[in-house]
Structure 1
Amino acid sequence: MSAALIAFVTTFALVMAVELPDKTFVATLVLTTRFRPKAVLSGVSAAFAVQALIAVGFGSVLTFLPDQLVSVIVGMLFGAGAAMLLREGFRTGDDDSHDSHDAARGGAGEVSFRRAALTSFCVLFAAEWGDASQLATAGLVARSAQPLAVGLGSFAALVTVAGLAVLLGRKIRTKLRPRLLQRIAGFIFAAFSLIAFGTAIFG
C-alpha cells in the first residue's frame, strides 16, 4: 500500500471517528430540518473544502521546521484535540440526543437554494475553526508529508459525515452513541500526541 493511500485512509478514518459525534453532524442535521438537503450539502461541502485547504496549508508549513520542533507542535495539536474530545465525551448532565431532538422541531423553510447554501457554508465554516478534525488534518500533513492525500481524506470524511446527517437524520445519531465515539477518538488523539512527544524526546 502506497504512503499516499495510507495517509488518505488514516485521515478518513480518524476524521470520521471525530466528526460523527461532533457538532459537524449535529449542525448539518439542524440545517437540513430548515433548508433543502441539496442546498445544505452544497454549502457545507464548500465550507469543508476551504477548511481542509487551510489545515493542509498550516500542516505543510510545519514540514519546513526542524523535525524535533514539528514533533512537539504535532503533539500539542493532537493533545489539544484529545482534550476537546474527552471533555465532551465525559461531560455529564447532557443528553446525547438533545441536539437531534431540537433539530426535529422545525420544518424545512421556504428559502432560496443560494441563501440556504450560503447559510450552511457560514455555519459550518465557523464551526470547523480550531475543531479537532482541523487539528488532526494539520498534524497528519506534518507527520506524513502527504498534503494532497491527507487533505482529500479529511474532505471526504467531512462530506461523508454531512451526507449521513442529511440522509439518515436522528436515527443514525441514536445508533452510534456519540459520547462513546468521542471518548474513543479522544484516546486515539491522546495516543498520537504521546507518540509525537516521544519522537521529539527520543528522536
Structure 2
Amino acid sequence: MIWSVVLAAFVLVLPVELPDKTLFASLVLATRFPPLPVFVGVGTAFGLQVAIAVTAGSLLSLLPEALVTGVVALLFLVGAVILWRSARSGAEDGGEAADSREQTSFLRAAAISFGVLFAAEWGDLSQLATAGLAARYEEPLSVFVGAWAALLVVSGLAVLLGKKLADRLPIAIIRRVAAGLFLVFAVVAAVETVRALT
C-alpha cells in the first residue's frame, strides 16, 4: 500500500462528498433509525461501492450518462414520496418521539441504510473520482482505503448530526425537509438526463 495514494484518495473524495446527496441521505436515515445500524449499513454500502469503482475503473464512464442520471432521478423521486408520506402519517399520529428510532431491529435498519446508500451512490462524483484514481495510480488497495476512509468520515458526521436533529426536532418536520431535498436532487438528475439525451 502506498500512503501518498491513500492520502490523495482521501483528500479528493472527502470534500466531494461533504455537500453531497449521500450525506443528506445518511442524515435522514439517522433520524429514523438508531445511529449504529445506520453507520454499519452506510459504511458497508460505501465499502462495496468503492470496491466496485476501484474494480471497474473507468468502465462506469462507458454507461450512457442518460441511463445513470435517469435512474438516479427516479430513485430520489421515490425517496421524496416515501419521506413525505411518512412525515404526513407521523403528523397525523400526533408526531413520533425520537425513541421511535429504537423500534426497528439492528439488521433491518442496517439493511435499509445499505440499500438507500448503495442505490444513491451510483454515478456519484466520489465513485467517478475513485474510478479515475484507480485507473491513474494502478494502486487499487491504496485508492480503496483512502476513498472508503473519507466516506466513513462523512457518514459518521451525518449520522451524529442526524441523531442530534432527531433528538431536538419533530421527526415529521425533518422528513418533510428531507423530502424537499430529495425532490430537488430528483429534479437536478432529471435535468441532467435531458441534457445527456440532447
Moved over 6 A (4+): 97-100
TM-score calculated relative to the size of structure 2:
0.62
Percent of aligned pairs with the same residue?
10
Alpha-carbon shift at residue 190 of structure 1 (Å): 3.3
User: In the alignment, is residue 156 of structure 1 matched against residue 153 of structure 2?
Assistant: yes
Closer, same or farther in 2 for the Cα pair 1:45/1:177, shift >3 Å?
closer
User: In the alignment, is residue 138 of structure 1 matched against residue 122 of structure 2?
Assistant: yes
Alignment of 1:1-203 (within 5 A): 5=11, 7-14=13-20, 15-21=22-28, 23-28=29-34, 41=36, 44-60=38-54, 63-65=57-59, 67-91=61-85, 93-95=88-90, 101-104=96-99, 120=106, 122-131=107-116, 133-140=117-124, 141-144=126-129, 145=131, 148=144, 151-167=148-164, 169-173=166-170, 177-195=174-192, 198-199=195-196, 201=197
Deviations 1:24-80 (A, max 9, x none): 43111xxxxxxxxxxx63x54344322211122334455443735252442144123
Task: State whether residues 62 and 142 of structure 1, in contact with CA within 8 Å, keep that contact through their aligned partners in structure 2.
Answer: no
Distance across 1 between alignment mates of 2:172 and 2:19: 18
- How many residue pairs are counted as aligned between the two chains? 174
Closer, same or farther in 2 for the Cα pair 1:100/1:93, shift >3 Å?
closer
Closer, same or farther in 2 for the Cα pair 1:172/1:55, shift >3 Å?
farther
Distance across 2 between alignment mates of 1:72 and 1:61: 23
**Gaps in structure 2 of 5+ consecutive residues:** 1-7, 134-142
More helix by share: 2
RMSD: 3.9
Query: What letter matches 2:179 in structure 1?
Result: Q
Closer, same or farther in 2 for the Cα pair 1:191/1:7, shift >3 Å?
farther
Closer, same or farther in 2 for the Cα pair 1:104/1:71, shift >3 Å?
same
Task: State whether residues 42 and 114 of structure 2, in contact with CA within 8 Å, keep that contact through their aligned partners in structure 1.
Answer: no
Query: What letter matches 2:69 in structure 1?
Result: G
**Gaps in structure 1 of 5+ consecutive residues:** 29-39, 109-118
Task: State whether residues 69 and 192 of structure 2, in contact with CA within 8 Å, keep that contact through their aligned partners in structure 1.
Answer: yes
Deviations 1:125-168 (A, max 9, x none): 3112431x322323214433357566444433322232235456
Query: What letter matches 2:120 in structure 1?
Result: A
TM-score calculated relative to the size of structure 1:
0.61
More off after superposition, 43-52 vs 148-157? 148-157
Distance across 2 between alignment mates of 1:150 and 1:56: 7
Distance across 2 between alignment mates of 1:142 and 1:87: 26
Alpha-carbon shift at residue 123 of structure 1 (Å): 3.4
Alignment-derived partner of residue 31 in structure 1: none
